[in-house]
C-alpha cells in the first residue's frame, strides 16, 4: 500500500471507532454534513476534518480523546462557533477530528439555596440565563452571541461582555469544572466550593486556554439575586478622564450597583443612527464622551414607587447626576423613564457592531488599558488613525478598561489602499507603551497567534510553551491555536 | 577532600555568592540569627538552612534563584511565618536557602481613580489596609494574623478570612503578579488589566501554589469603596439550613452587602466566655445556631441619621430581622447600637481561636462544604466526635461554607488516650462523601501533604505532578510542600 492508502485505511479505522463511541448518527463524515462545523461566525476560517463527532457524555469525550491520542490525530473542541479569532476551526496540515459539545448540553443541577448550577459545556448561554431566571436568580454572563454561543466556548475563551464591571468575566463566575485532559483522564472538580486550597488551580489553567490543554465538559457557576429595580441612562461626560471619576462616584453612591458603563462617543452614535434610521441619539448636540449607564439593585427599598409614580432607585440616580453636573463632571444626562426607553438605549448599544460592519470595511481592535491610560491612548491613536486616512470608531466597556476600537474607512472604495498594517503596528506599539492588552476579551485563536510571538513577554511565552508541552506532549489538543510549540 | 568537606566548601561558595547579591548584612548564617526564620507560628515545624537571605529587589531574588538552581539547592520562600501548615519552613534532607521577602515590602504605586495598588510581596497586610484607608478606599483582605503576615504569603496560600463572602479570597482580589520562576526568569504581569485574554493564566497557577512553582515578588490588587455605614448583629437562627435562607434573604434585601456571616454556636460562645470572663454572650439562653452578621454600605442614603438618632441602614437590618422572625427563620436577634457594641461582637468572634487553644488540647479541621451539605455533615460529625469522647467546637465562615471544626477534649488529662486518628479518618471520609474539602483556606504545606495522596482525585494529583515537574524540573522551589514529585 502507498502512504496515502495507509493513511486512508487508518482514517477509516478511526471513523469506525468514533462511530462505536458516539454512534454513527453522531459521527459526521460527509462534506455536506460537516460543512457548518468547519467554518465559524466570522467566515474567515475554514478547516478540514476526518470527522465531526458529537459525544453525549463526558465518558464518550474521554474515549474519543484516548482514541485520537493513540492515533496522533488532532482534536478541535467546538462550541457554538461564535468566536472571533478562529479558535474553533481546524488548522491546515493535521488530520483533525472536530469534537462538537452540542449534545453535552444538560443543566445537571441547580441549587437555589446555594445559588449555583452545574451545567454541561454544550449548553447555550441564553438557555442558562433563562433557567436561572425561572428560579428567581440571575446568571449574569451576557453578550450579543448569547442565543448560539455555548458555555464551554465561553469558558475556553474567558468571554467578557457588558456587565463584567459588576460580575467579572466568565472566569470569575465559574467555581468548578469537569474536564477531559489530553490523555483522556477526567478531572472532576464540580463540588462548587467557595474555598478549597488543596493544590494547584487547574480550573483557571483550563479556563481561557481555548481547548489547547483539555476539553471542559461541565462547570459550576455562581448565580446572583435578581435585581428588582434598574435605572438606565445616557450621560454626556466632560472628558474620558472625568468618566472614570463619574464611574467611581456612581459606584460609591449606589453601593457598587453599576452593571454597564459603556463608552459611546458621538462618531459611533452617528454611524448607528445613519445605518438604522429609526434609532435616535439619546441626547441632543455633539456628545464627545457619551456613556450608557445601567445600575441595578435587588433591594426592595430601591424598588419603592414614589408619590409621583417614579421609582426610588431611578430618583437616586437622577440626584447623583445632578451632583455630578454641579461638579462639572457631566454636561448633560437622561434617565430612561420607561421600559421602552430603556430598550431603546440597549438597542443603541447592541447595534454598534452591526452598524459599523454595514457601514463599510473595517478592522476591529479588541483592546484593554489601565483606566488612567485610556484617555492618552485614545488621543494618540485617533490622531494617527486620522492621519493615515482611517475613521476611528470607538466604543467599549469602559468600566473594565476594554475598548472596541474600529479602524473604519471614510471612503469605502479607498479601503484597499489604506495602510492597514502600518496603523495596526502603530496601535500595538502604542498599547505596549501604555501597558495595554492586544486581546481583551476575544482571545487568540488563529488570528492573533502571530501577535503573541511579538507582543507577549518572552518569559510568559516560554512558560506557556512549557505548560503546553507538559500537559499535551503530543500536541493533539486544538493545535495551532493560542500557543506554538 | 571528603564528600562532607566538598559539600562544606560548596556551601561556603554559595554563601559568598549570596552575600554578593544581597549584601552580607542580609545573608544570615549564624544559628542564632537564623533561628526565628526556621520555625513558624505553630511551633510545630523546625528546619535547617545554609543561609537566610533577605533580598531587596526582584532582580536580587532572580539572582538568588539562578544561583540555587545552578547549585541544586532548595529555595524556601518566606513571608510572615504565620501559616498553619508548615509551608514556610525548610524540610529535612535538602540543603536549603530561606528567601525571606521581608525587605521587598514597598507599596510601589496606588491608583486612586483606577482603584488598584501595586505592592511587593513582603508588605505586611495591615500596612496595606492602612495605606488603602489613607486613600479613602478599602483593601478588604483581613484575618487575625494581619499584623505580621505578608501579602506574598497571603497570595501563596490564597488566604481567606471573614469577609470572603463579599470580596472573595486573596486570589479574587489579585489582578496581576510579578514573579521569579525556578529558572530565575522574571514574569512581569503588573498591568492590572481587568480583561486580558492573551494566553494561559499563569497568575492563578502561582497563587495558592505555596511557593512550589516560583516566588511571587509583587502583585496588583483591587481596592474598594469605603463603607460609610455598617450594621452588625447576632442572630439565633432556627437551624443550620435556615441559616442559608437567612443569608440569602439578607443578601437580596441589602443588595449583597453582607461582609461577615459567622457561625458561632453556643458551645463555642461558652468556651470564649469561660476563658475570657469579661466577654458576655450577645443573646440570652441557649443559642444553638448563632450567627454573627455584618452588613456594610457605601451609599450615603444608608448612612442617613434618622429622627430618633439611629442610622437608616441599621434600621433596615432590624426590619429585615423582624420579617425573618415572623417567617420563623430566626428566633432572636440583636443589632449593635454603638461602635462599642460592634467591637464587643467582633471581639467575641476574634477570640475564638485563642479561647479554644487556651481551653485545652485540640485538633483543628479547616474544612469547607457545599452549603446544602453543612447541616448533615455537622450532625453526623458531632455524633461521632461525641461518641469517641471529643468535644466538638465549631465556628466558621458560613457564607463560604467554611467551617473551623475543632476536636477538643472535655477532660484534658484524657487527651492522649483519645482516638485522634480514628476521628480524623472518620472526618475525612465523611467530607469526601459530602463533597467537601479537607483544606478550605489554610493550604497544604507539610501538615496535609499525606492527605493529598489519599484524598485528592488521582487525575488532579497527576496533573499537579506534571505541572511541578515541568515548571520546576530540579525540584528546588519549596520542595516537600503541597506536592510530592
Q: Domain coordinates of chain A in residue numbers?
A: 3-100, 107-225, 229-352, 360-442
| Best to test chain A binding among B200, B244, B322, B402 (most A CBs inside 10 Å) | B200
**Mean pLDDT within A33-53:** 93
Q: How far is CA A322 from CA A241, A304, B157, in A?
A: 19, 21, 46
As a whole-number percent, the residues of chain B with pLDDT over 70 amount to: 99
Question: Quick check: B164 contacting A, CB < 8 Å?
Answer: yes
B 318-337 residues with CB < 8 A to A: none
Establish if A466 touches chain B: CB-CB under 8 angstroms.
yes
* Cα–Cα distance measured from residue A212 to residue A77, given in angstroms and rounded to the nearest whole number: 9
Dmax (CA) of chain B: 88
Question: Which residue in the set A195, A241, A257 is minimally distant from B164, CB to CB?
Answer: A195
Instruction: Express each pLDDT in B188-200 by its tens digit.
Output: 999 999 999 999 9
Note the ipTM here: 0.96
What is the assigned CATH class of domain A229-352? alpha beta
Put simply, the answer to whether A202 touches B464 (Cβ < 8 Å) is yes
Which uninterrupted H or E stretch holds B429? helix B420-433
Just give the CATH number of B3-100: 3.30.43.10
With contacts defined as CB-CB under 8 Å, which chain B residues touch A240?
A: none
Going by pLDDT thresholds of 50, 70 and 90, the confidence category of residue A124 is very high
Question: What's the confidence (pLDDT) of residue A2?
Answer: 66
Please tell me which of the candidates B113, B199, B482 has its beta carbon nearest to residue A456.
B199
Fold of B229-297+308-352: Alpha-Beta Plaits (3.30.70)
| C-alpha distance from A3 to closest chain B C-alpha (Å) | 35
Whether the CB of A452 is below 8 Å from some CB of chain B: the reply is yes
Q: How far does A46 lie from chain B, in Å, by closest CA? A: 23
Q: Which residue in chain B has the smallest CA separation from A443?
A: B197
User: What is d(CA B430, CA B440) in angstroms, rounded to the nearest whole number?
Assistant: 15
Whole-number Å distance between alpha carbons of B88 and B152: 11
Q: List, for residues A50-65, the tens digit of each pLDDT value.
A: 999 999 999 999 999 9
Q: How many residues does chain A have?
A: 485
Of B202, B457, B466, the CB nearest to A188: B457
The interface residues of chain A toward chain B in range 242-261, judged by CB-CB distance below 8 A, are 244-245, 248, 251-257
- Classified by CATH at the fold level, domain B361-442 comes out as Alpha-Beta Plaits (3.30.70)
Query: Is residue B164 over pLDDT 80?
Result: yes
Q: Quick check: B370 and A111 CB within 8 A?
A: yes
Q: What percent of chain A has pLDDT over 90?
A: 90
Report phi then psi at A300, rounded to 5.
-60, -35
Long-range pairs, B349-352, Cβ under 8 A, ≥24: B349/B162, B349/B260, B349/B262, B349/B264, B349/B292, B349/B395, B350/B144, B351/B272, B351/B275, B351/B276, B351/B279, B352/B264, B352/B268, B352/B271, B352/B272, B352/B395, B352/B404
* B402 reaches A (C-beta below 8 A): yes
> B370–A114: do the CB atoms touch at under 8 Å?
yes
When pLDDT is cut at 50, 70 and 90, the band that residue A384 belongs to is very high
CA distance to A118, A140, B169, B302, B386, per residue, from B410 (Å): 42, 49, 34, 46, 10
Q: Does A375 touch chain B (CB under 8 A)?
A: no
How many angstroms away from the CA of A434 is the closest CA of chain B? 9
Please check whether the two domains, A229-352 and A360-442, share a CATH topology: yes
Nine-digit cell string for A471: 500537559
How far is residue A441's CA from residue A421's CA, in Å, rounded to a whole number?
A: 22
Q: Does residue A29 surpass a pLDDT of 80?
A: yes
Q: Is A453 on the interface with B (CB under 8 A)?
A: no
Task: Quickly state the pLDDT bin for B7 (edges 50, 70, 90).
Answer: confident
Helix (H, G, I), strand (E, B), or coil: what is residue A388? coil
B256 alpha carbon, distance to own chain's centre: 23
Give the pLDDT confidence of A334-362 residue by residue, as tens digits: 999 999 999 999 999 989 988 998 989 99
A360-442 folds as Alpha-Beta Plaits (3.30.70)
> Which residue in chain A is spatially nearest to B253 when comparing CA positions?
A299
- Domain A107-225 carries which CATH code? 3.30.465.10
Q: What residues in B contact A158, CB-CB < 8 Å?
A: 197
Four-CA torsion A23, A25, A27, A32, nearest 10 degrees: 170
Nearest residue, CB atoms, A160 vs list B195, B245, B483: B195
Residue located via cell numbers 453601593: A255
A436, A360, A358, A357: which is closest to A403 by C-alpha? A436
| Helices within A178-298 (DSSP H only) | 202-206, 240-254, 266-275
- Which band of pLDDT confidence, cut at 50, 70 and 90, is reported for residue A413? confident
Q: What is the mean pLDDT of residues B73-84?
A: 96
Radius of gyration for the alpha carbons in chain B, expressed in angstroms and rounded: 24
Judged against a pLDDT cut of 80, whether residue B3 lies above it is answered with no
Chain B CB contacts of A202 under 8 Å are 460, 463-464
- Please answer yes or no on whether B195 and A462 come within 8 Å at the CB atom: no
Q: Which DSSP category does A12 fall into?
A: H
Mutate to test the interface with B, among A137, A169, A200, A455 (most CBs of B within 10 A): A200
Write out pLDDT tens, residues B380-419: 999 999 999 999 999 999 989 999 999 998 777 899 999 9
Minimal-distance CA residue of chain B relative to A182: B463
pLDDT at A459: 98
For residues B347 and B272, is the Cβ–Cβ distance under 8 A?
A: no
Residue B2 has pLDDT above 70, yes or no: no
Of the candidates A298, A370, A482, which has its C-beta nearest B199's C-beta? A482
pLDDT grade for A6, boundaries at 50, 70 and 90? low
Amino acid at each position: 500500500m502507498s502512504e496515502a492508502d495507509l493513511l486512508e485505511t487508518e482514517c477509516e479505522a478511526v471513523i469506525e471507532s468514533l462511530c462505536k463511541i458516539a454512534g454513527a448518527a453522531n459521527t459526521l463524515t460527509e462534506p455536506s454534513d460537516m460543512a457548518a462545523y468547519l467554518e465559524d461566525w466570522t467566515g474567515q476560517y475554514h478547516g478540514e476534518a476526518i470527522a465531526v463527532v458529537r459525544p453525549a457524555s463526558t465518558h464518550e469525550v474521554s474515549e474519543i480523546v484516548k482514541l485520537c491520542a493513540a492515533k496522533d490525530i488532532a482534536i478541535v473542541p467546538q462550541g457554538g462557533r461564535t468566536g472571533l479569532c478562529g479558535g474553533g476551526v481546524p488548522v491546515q496540515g493535521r488530520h483533525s477530528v472536530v469534537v462538537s459539545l452540542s449534545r453535552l448540553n444538560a443543566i445537571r443541577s441547580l441549587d437555589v439555596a446555594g445559588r449555583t448550577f452545574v451545567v454541561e459545556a454544550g449548553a447555550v448561554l441564553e438557555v442558562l440565563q433563562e433557567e436561572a431566571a425561572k428560579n428567581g436568580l440571575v446568571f449574569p454572563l451576557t453578550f450579543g452571541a448569547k442565543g448560539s454561543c455555548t458555555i464551554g466556548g465561553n469558558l475556553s475563551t474567558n468571554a467578557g461582555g457588558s456587565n463584567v464591571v459588576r460580575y467579572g468575566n466568565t472566569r470569575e463566575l465559574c467555581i468548578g469544572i469537569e474536564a477531559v485532559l489530553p490523555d483522556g483522564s477526567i478531572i472532576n472538580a464540580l463540588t462548587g466550593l467557595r474555598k478549597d486550597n488543596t493544590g494547584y488551580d487547574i480550573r483557571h489553567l483550563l479556563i481561557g486556554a481555548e481547548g489547547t490543554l483539555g476539553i471542559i465538559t461541565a462547570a459550576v457557576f455562581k448565580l446572583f439575586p435578581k435585581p428588582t429595580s434598574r435605572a438606565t441612562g445616557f450621560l454626556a461626560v466632560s472628558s474620558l478622564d472625568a468618566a472614570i471619576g463619574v464611574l467611581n462616584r456612581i459606584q460609591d453612591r449606589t453601593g457598587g450597583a453599576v452593571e454597564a458603563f459603556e463608552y459611546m462617543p458621538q462618531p459611533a452614535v452617528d454611524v448607528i443612527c445613519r445605518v438604522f434610521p429609526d434609532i435616535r441619539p439619546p441626547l441632543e448636540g455633539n456628545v464627545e464622551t457619551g456613556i450608557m449607564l445601567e445600575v441595578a439593585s435587588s433591594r426592595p427599598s430601591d424598588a419603592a414607587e414614589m408619590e409621583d409614580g417614579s421609582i426610588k432607585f431611578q430618583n437616586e440616580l437622577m440626584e447623583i447626576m445632578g451632583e455630578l453636573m454641579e461638579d462639572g463632571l457631566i454636561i448633560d444626562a437622561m434617565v430612561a423613564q420607561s421600559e421602552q426607553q430603556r430598550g431603546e438605549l440597549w438597542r443603541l448599544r447592541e447595534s454598534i457592531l452591526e452598524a459599523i460592519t454595514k457601514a463599510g470595511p473595517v478592522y476591529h481592535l479588541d483592546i484593554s488599558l489601565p483606566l488612567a491610560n485610556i484617555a492618552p491612548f485614545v488621543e494618540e491613536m485617533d490622531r494617527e488613525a486620522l492621519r493615515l486616512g482611517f475613521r476611528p470608531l470607538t466604543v467599549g466597556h469602559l468600566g473594565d478598561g476594554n475598548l472596541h476600537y474600529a479602524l473604519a474607512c471614510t471612503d469605502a472604495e479607498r479601503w484597499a489602499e489604506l495602510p492597514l498594517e502600518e496603523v495596526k503596528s502603530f496601535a500595538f506599539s502604542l498599547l505596549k507603551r501604555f501597558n495595554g492588552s492586544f486581546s481583551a476579551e476575544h482571545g487568540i485563536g488563529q488570528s492573533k497567534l502571530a501577535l503573541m510571538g511579538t507582543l507577549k513577554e518572552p518569559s510568559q511565552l516560554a512558560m506557556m510553551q512549557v505548560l503546553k508541552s507538559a500537559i499535551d506532549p503530543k500536541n493533539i489538543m486544538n493545535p495551532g491555536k493560542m500557543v506554538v510549540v
